[in-house]
Structure 1
Amino acid sequence: MNKTLKVPALRIRQGKERQLFSLAIEGKNITRVAAISRIRRGEEDLLGYQRPEVQSHIREIQRYIESENPMIPNPVIIAFDERVEFESSQENSDIGYLVIPVSDNEDFIKPGFIVDGQQRTAALRDAEIESFMMPVSAFIANNDEEQREQFMLVNSTKPLPKTLLHELAPHTKGRLPSDLQARKFPSLLTQRLNFGEGPLKGKIKTATNPEGIIADTSIIKMLDASLKEGALYRFRDPETGMGDESKMLSVLNHFWSAVKEVFSEDWEKKPRDSRLLHGVGVLSLGSLMDEIDQLYMTIKGSEVRGEPTPYDFFKAELETIKDVCHWSSGAWDFGKDIEGQPIKRRWNELQNLSKDISLVTDYLVDYYQNS
C-alpha cells in the first residue's frame, strides 16, 4: 500500500511559471523518494541521463558524514513527477508542505530523479549514522526530457565526461550552453552513425558504447567542419543548422565504406596500432571527403546537387592517395620545409594535436588536388 511523505517546504516562484521548492529530507529517505537514472540505450532511443557512481568519491563523503561534526550545505537537486503536490499552509501562501508518495513495494516507481547529488545521496544511504537532514532543492518536471535538460544545465560547468554531454545534447529541446548547443546536430549524426547501420556502427566511443575505438570528439569535429563548408553543407538548413539527416548519413556511410575498403588492412586496428581511426586519420580524411565531394559536384553539375556522392566515386578517388598513406607502418614524406629540409614522420609519431592533424590534412588535400 502506498503512503505519503509530507515535508515542510518553501515555494519559490521563478519567471512566469517556474516553481522551485526548498526543503530538508532525512538523508536516508532520499533514496525512498528519488532514483538515479543512469544513462543507457533502449532499442531505439537514449534513456536516462546520469553518470555511474564513483565509489572512491562516495567513500570519502561517507567518511566525512560519519565524522564528529559534518555539514553539507549544498542541496541535492531532485526532479519530481506530477504525483508530487505542494500544499499551502494558508491560501496563496508560499509556505507549506510537499506531499511525496512513497512505498516499500519493489515494483513502486519512485516519483523523483536525482538531477545533482547522486554521490552525496549514495554516501548518506551507506553511512552508519542515525540521522542527517539533507537540504534539497526540488522542482516538478513535466517529462523525462525536462529532467535531462536540467541535469545538463546544472552540470555543464562541472568536469562531467564530454562523451556523456555530447550523447545527451541531441535529446534536449531547451537552450544549452553555447558550446553544447553548437554540437547538438553533429552529436546527433554521430549517434546515427554509431547505432545505425553502416561502417562506423559500434566503433565510436560514447557513454553508452565505451567499447568503441574512435573518440566521439574526433567524429563530431569532422562532422561540424563538413556541415559548415563541406560535403554535408548542401543538405543543411541554414536557418536551423540541422538538415536532411538521411542524405547526410548516405554521404558519410558511402565515404567511410570506401575508406574501409581501400584501407582494409588498417580498418580493424585500434588507434594505438594505426592512425586511420585515430583523430589524425578521422579529421584529415574528413577534409578529403569534402574535397572529393566538391569534385563530384563539379563534374556532374547542378543536377546532382540534391543527391549524395556515391560509394564508387569515393572509392575510386581514395585509391589515388592510398600509396602515400602510412597509417600503421613506415613513414610519411611531407616534402620539404622552407629551408629545404625534408619533413618525414614515422606513422606512430603522429599525435592527436592540431599541428599534426593540419600536417596530414594539408598533405593529403594538396596531393589529391595535384594528382
Structure 2
Amino acid sequence: MTAPKKEIVVRALRTTQGDGLDVFAFFIKGADIVKIADISRIERDDSDALKGFQRPEIRSHVKGIAEYLNQGNVLFPNAIILAMSPDIHFSASRGTKPTGDDGMALAGTLTIPIYEEGQRVAWIVDGQQRSLALAQVSNKALSVPVVGFVSDSLEVQREQFILVNKAKPLPTRLINELLPETRGISLPRELSAKKVPSEICGLLNRDADSPFYKLIKRISEKANTVAVITDTAVITMIRNSMNNPLGALSPYKSTGREGADVESMYRILTTFWTAVKDVFPTAWGVDSRNSRLMHSAGIEAMGVLMDRIYARLSGHGEDYKTVRKELEKVAPACRWTEGTWDTLGVAWNEIQSTPRDIKRLQDALVRAYTSSVRP
C-alpha cells in the first residue's frame, strides 16, 4: 500500500469481540468518512469471482439525507460501521483506571492514515448513503459516531454487512448473491436456509454446461444483455422443491448433522431444465416479454411440474431421455409464446407474477401431465 500523505487522529475506545477482532468506537467529522473509507461495490471480475458487497448509490436517498443535515442543528446519533485494515494504530492512554471500570473497553488514541481512493484504510459496511450525504453537507465539522472492526477479510466484511442489514429493507437479490460467499460464521437460521438455493443458482449461471448458463440476472452483473431470468425466480423454484416433502430436491437438503447434497440437487436441476430447454427451444433463452417460460411465473410453475415428474419416476429412471419423454407429454398444452391456455382461458402473455397466476399455471401444468399419464 502506498505511503500515507496524512492521517486523522481521534480519541477512541477499544474492545475485543468475536475471534479476537479489535473493535473501536469513536467520533469523526462527517466529511472525513469518505476520506478514510472506500465503498466496496458488488461486482464480478473477469474470472467471475464476486467482489465487494455494497449496492449502488441511491441518489435520491443521499440527496434527502443531505437536505436534512443542511437544515442546521441536527441530531446524528446513528453510527457508521467500518471495516478497518490493520494499518490503523491505537495507543492506549496512560494513567490509573477509573474506580468502577469493569475493563470492557480501553481508552486511547486512534491514528487513521489517509490513502488514495481505492486504497483506503477502511471500507463502509453500513451507512454508505449517510456517508456520501455527509461529504456534501455545508457543515463539514459535524461529528458523527463510528464503530470500526479491524479485518481486511472480505468474507468477514460481507458477513457483517448481511447481519447488520438483514432487518432493513435490503434488496433480496443482493442478499441472495452474497450469501454463498459467507462461510466463516453461523448465520441466523433464516439466512442459513437461503444459502444453498443461492449457491446453486450461482452454479447454474456460471457452468457452461448448464441450461441456465449466463441467462440468470444477477445484481453484480451490470451489462449482461443475454440474461433474461431473474435470480429470484430460480432461487424460489429451488427453495420450493427443497421445502416440499415430495419435491425432487427435498431428499437432498440438509438433515441433522449432514449438509445438503448440492451435487445431487444440481444434477437433477440440470437434467430437468436441459430437457425443458430442448422440448421448448423457441421459448428458451428469450426475453420474458416474449416467452412466459422465461418469466418468473413460468420458472416457478415448471418447478412444481419437476417435482411431480420426479415423484412419478422415483426409482424407475430419472435420466435425461426419460425426463424429456415426460415433458413431451405436457408440451401440447403449453402456450409459452403464443396462443391461449385452453384450461385457463387466458392468452399466453396475460400470465403475471402474482401468486394467483402462478398457482393457476402450476395447476394447469400438473393437470395436463396427470391426464397424459393416467392409465
Identity of aligned residues (%): 37
State whether residues 43 and 221 of structure 2, in contact with CA within 8 Å, keep that contact through their aligned partners in structure 1. no
How far apart are the structure 1 equivalents of 2:26 and 2:359? 54
Displacement over 6 Å in runs of 4+: none
How far apart are the structure 2 equivalents of 1:219 and 1:15? 35
Unaligned runs of 5+ in 2: 96-102
- Superposition pairs of residues 54-133 of structure 1, within 5 angstroms: 54-90=58-94, 94-103=106-115, 105=116, 109-133=119-143
How far apart are the structure 1 equivalents of 2:39 and 2:238? 32
- Superposition pairs of residues 104-183 of structure 1, within 5 angstroms: 105=116, 109-141=119-151, 143-173=153-183, 174-183=185-194
Aligned to 1:202: 214
The one-letter amino acid of 2:82's match is: I
The one-letter amino acid of 1:172's match is: T
291, 300, 304: which one aligns with 2:308: 291
18, 21, 26: which one aligns with 1:23: 26
The secondary structure found in structure 2 opposite 1:259 is: helix
The one-letter amino acid of 2:151's match is: A
Aligned to 2:99: none
Deviates most, 111-120 or 206-215: 206-215
Q: Classify 1:287/1:240 alpha carbon distance in 2 versus 1 (closer, same or farther; 3 Å).
A: farther
Unaligned runs of 5+ in 1: 301-308, 335-342
Aligned to 1:306: none
Aligned to 1:314: 323
Deviates most, 261-270 or 181-190: 261-270
The secondary structure found in structure 1 opposite 2:278 is: helix
State whether residues 185 and 242 of structure 1, in contact with CA within 8 Å, keep that contact through their aligned partners in structure 2. no
- Superposition pairs of residues 212-227 of structure 1, within 5 angstroms: 212-227=227-242
Q: Classify 1:16/1:148 alpha carbon distance in 2 versus 1 (closer, same or farther; 3 Å).
A: closer
The one-letter amino acid of 1:102's match is: I
State whether residues 202 and 209 of structure 1, in contact with CA within 8 Å, keep that contact through their aligned partners in structure 2. no
Q: Classify 1:348/1:130 alpha carbon distance in 2 versus 1 (closer, same or farther; 3 Å).
A: closer
Residue 359 of structure 1 deviates from its aligned partner by 2.1
Aligned to 1:323: 332
Q: Classify 1:16/1:54 alpha carbon distance in 2 versus 1 (closer, same or farther; 3 Å).
A: closer
How far apart are the structure 2 equivalents of 1:187 and 1:16? 27
The secondary structure found in structure 2 opposite 1:268 is: coil
State whether residues 228 and 285 of structure 2, in contact with CA within 8 Å, keep that contact through their aligned partners in structure 1. no
Q: Classify 1:326/1:147 alpha carbon distance in 2 versus 1 (closer, same or farther; 3 Å).
A: same
- Superposition pairs of residues 246-261 of structure 1, within 5 angstroms: 246-261=263-278
The secondary structure found in structure 2 opposite 1:165 is: helix
Aligned to 2:248: 231
How far apart are the structure 1 equivalents of 2:259 and 2:290? 35
Residue 51 of structure 1 deviates from its aligned partner by 0.8
Q: Classify 1:241/1:31 alpha carbon distance in 2 versus 1 (closer, same or farther; 3 Å).
A: farther
How far apart are the structure 1 equivalents of 2:319 and 2:251? 15
1:32 aligns with 2:42: no
Alignment length, in residue pairs?
353
The one-letter amino acid of 1:8's match is: R
Q: Classify 1:362/1:130 alpha carbon distance in 2 versus 1 (closer, same or farther; 3 Å).
A: closer
The one-letter amino acid of 2:123's match is: F
How far apart are the structure 1 equivalents of 2:284 and 2:17? 53
Q: Classify 1:54/1:16 alpha carbon distance in 2 versus 1 (closer, same or farther; 3 Å).
A: closer
State whether residues 83 and 152 of structure 2, in contact with CA within 8 Å, keep that contact through their aligned partners in structure 1. no
How far apart are the structure 1 equivalents of 2:300 and 2:61? 36
State whether residues 156 and 177 of structure 1, in contact with CA within 8 Å, keep that contact through their aligned partners in structure 2. no
CA RMSD after TM alignment? 2.5
Aligned to 1:363: 364
State whether residues 26 and 133 of structure 1, in contact with CA within 8 Å, keep that contact through their aligned partners in structure 2. yes
Residue 15 of structure 1 deviates from its aligned partner by 7.2
State whether residues 193 and 200 of structure 1, in contact with CA within 8 Å, keep that contact through their aligned partners in structure 2. yes
Q: Classify 1:241/1:140 alpha carbon distance in 2 versus 1 (closer, same or farther; 3 Å).
A: same
CA deviations on 1:84-133 (whole Å, 9 max, x unpaired) are: 24321037761112222323x56x72221101111121122233444222
Give TM-score scaled by structure 2 length: 0.85
Aligned to 2:100: none
How far apart are the structure 1 equivalents of 2:54 and 2:297? 31
Aligned to 2:262: 245
Residue 9 of structure 1 deviates from its aligned partner by 0.6
Q: Classify 1:16/1:191 alpha carbon distance in 2 versus 1 (closer, same or farther; 3 Å).
A: closer
CA deviations on 1:273-324 (whole Å, 9 max, x unpaired) are: 3211112211121122223233333324xxxxxxxx3322222221111110
How far apart are the structure 1 equivalents of 2:181 and 2:18? 24
1:263 aligns with 2:267: no
How far apart are the structure 2 equivalents of 1:109 and 1:289? 48
How far apart are the structure 1 equivalents of 2:257 and 2:361? 32
Residue 201 of structure 1 deviates from its aligned partner by 1.7
